[in-house]
């Protein structure tokens, strides 16, 4: 009786450690996604500002403490490239978030000796809202 209780306690401890790792991973993914969303918003705002510029308007790029004149076409191209990169990073972040959930839930289901009973964190897992 004592050894089965000890075994159960060890399994619960291991599940708790796994759950904490999943929490840390998901927290990091959420932070990265929020940072990327902020960057996306900023760059979309810049693109909208560029759309209303006339050829006479001058664009300056800050490099360190200095403002350097930049060609409009180059600036627009840079922003478009940056937007594509950020969107790609958002997609990669979402795939990773999905992978974390799928793998961790699969791991706890596969490691469970009783297939009908799952650890609480497997049952309670839900996707991160956007």
Mean pLDDT of the chain: 84
* All domains in the chain, ordered by first residue: 14-124 (1.10.287.370)
Is the pLDDT confidence value at 35 over 60?
Answer: yes
Is the pLDDT confidence value at 54 over 90?
Answer: yes
- C-alpha–C-alpha distance, residues 46 and 62, integer Å: 14
* Residue-wise pLDDT tens digits, 89-103: 999 999 998 888 777
- C-alpha–C-alpha distance, residues 94 and 122, integer Å: 19
pTM: 0.70
Tell me which DSSP letter residue 114 carries.
S
* Amino acid 109: pLDDT: 60
């Amino acid at each position: 009786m004592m050894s089965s209780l000890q075994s159960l306690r060890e399994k619960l401890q291991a599940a708790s450690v796994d759950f904490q790792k999943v929490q840390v991973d998901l927290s990091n993914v959420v932070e990265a996604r929020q940072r990327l969303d902020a960057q996306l918003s900023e760059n979309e705002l810049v693109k909208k500002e560029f759309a209303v510029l006339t050829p006479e308007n001058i664009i300056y790029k800050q490099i360190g403490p200095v403002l350097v004149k930049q060609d409009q076409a180059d600036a627009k191209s840079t922003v478009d490239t940056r937007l594509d990169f950020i969107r790609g990073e958002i997609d990669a972040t979402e795939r990773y978030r999905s992978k974390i959930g799928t793998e961790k839930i699969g791991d706890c289901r596969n490691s469970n000796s009783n297939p009908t009973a799952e650890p609480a964190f497997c049952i309670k897992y839900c996707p991160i809202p956007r």
